[in-house]
């Protein structure tokens, strides 16, 4: 099995949003590694799920993939995407008391930031994506909206430009709100986000340490995405009681890039177990197709 960094180009966004070339439940095609799956997918306990071979545009699994639901901290993928289009990586953002209070008051995960610290945008992207810091999300939105209201407007404008017709953001962190998206839209966003080399690097980083300086404390941020241990390239976890356990992930198997989204999963471990089962299944499908294509029986 070969594992490498192969990110689907932006031109595949249209295919992903349109539904790809075939459903996993459709009749098998001519065989080979890019065909419709020939065996049934494993059981998926997530309420909504979507898995697509972004290399071919072939849907491997679709379960309520266009239903609008809350997506928790998967929201932060769009926050990172918007920041990358607004900010220089070496620009410095000062953390305020409001940033810290926002995370505490919302009961959200935080990156341990303190008022008065000054951190670069690059560092705050790690604080945003790895420990899923709502404090980092608030600080970035305040700076690059400027203000949360304008920043959320930028998020929704970006969603529209990407063709995410079933997505609406209400905040930059995914705390309970009237925001929503779909598994299919989040797969398309994952493809667009990981086409950005900075986001791609951040998303696949297991841990980020920054040393103490005169303007900020020492920080260690660990990635909540344990699928990285299985060779995944990212992307993001999320959880609220309203949304359940969520996961968007990208992985390369046998030269094919697979993009998956699980929403409303029943538990933390379950989302990763389901993702692993799906990746094992598609790898088996690819191996079987290659064997058949080579005339080996």
CA 172 to chain centre: 14
Please identify every residue annotated as catalytic.
Answer: 73, 76, 132
- In angstroms, the CA 253 to CA 70 distance is 29
Angle subtended at Cα 111 by Cα 104 and Cα 226, rounded to the nearest 5 degrees: 120
Q: Residue 281 CB: number of other CB atoms within 10 A?
A: 19
Give Dmax over CA atoms of the chain in angstroms.
Answer: 66
CA pair distance 185, 163, nearest whole angstrom: 8
Answer whether 77's CB lies under 8 Å from 248's CB.
Answer: yes
User: Which tokens is 67 given?
Assistant: 């239903």
Token pair 């220089």 in the structure block, residue: 88
How many C-beta atoms lie closer than 10 Å to residue 267's C-beta?
12
Give the separation between CA 58 and CA 35, rounded to whole angstroms.
7
E strands, 76-135, are: 92-94, 118-120
CA atoms of 137 and 79, how far apart (whole Å)? 7
- Sequence-separated (6 or more) residues with CB below 8 Å from residue 159: 78, 167, 168, 169, 185, 189
């Amino acid at each position: 099995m070969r594992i490498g960094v192969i990110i689907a180009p932006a031109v595949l966004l249209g295919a992903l949003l349109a539904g790809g070339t075939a459903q996993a439940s459709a009749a098998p095609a001519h065989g080979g590694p890019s065909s419709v799956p020939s065996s049934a997918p494993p059981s998926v306990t997530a309420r909504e799920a979507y898995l697509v071979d972004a290399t071919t545009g072939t849907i491997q699994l679709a379960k309520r993939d266009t239903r609008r639901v809350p997506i928790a901290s998967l929201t932060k993928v769009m926050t990172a995407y918007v920041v990358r289009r607004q900010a220089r990586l070496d620009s410095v953002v000062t953390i305020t008391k409001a940033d810290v209070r926002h995370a505490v008051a919302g009961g959200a995960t935080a990156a341990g930031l303190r008022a008065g610290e000054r951190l670069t945008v690059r560092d705050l992207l790690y604080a945003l994506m790895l420990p899923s810091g709502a404090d980092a999300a608030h600080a970035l939105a305040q700076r690059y909206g400027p203000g949360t209201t304008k920043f959320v407007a930028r998020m929704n404008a970006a969603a529209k430009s990407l063709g995410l017709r079933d997505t609406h953001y209400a905040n930059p962190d995914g705390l309970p709100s009237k925001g929503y998206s779909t598994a299919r839209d989040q797969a398309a966003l994952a493809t667009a986000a990981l086409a950005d080399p900075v986001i791609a690097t951040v998303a696949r980083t297991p841990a980020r340490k920054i040393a103490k300086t005169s303007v900020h404390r020492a920080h260690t941020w660990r990635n909540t995405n344990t699928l990285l241990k299985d060779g995944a390239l990212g992307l993001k976890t999320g959880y609220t009681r309203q949304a359940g356990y969520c996961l968007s992930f990208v992985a390369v198997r046998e030269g094919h890039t697979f993009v998956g989204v699980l929403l409303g999963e029943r538990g933390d471990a379950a989302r990763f177990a389901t993702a692993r089962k799906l990746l094992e299944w598609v790898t088996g499908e690819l191996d079987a197709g290659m064997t058949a294509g080579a005339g080996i029986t």
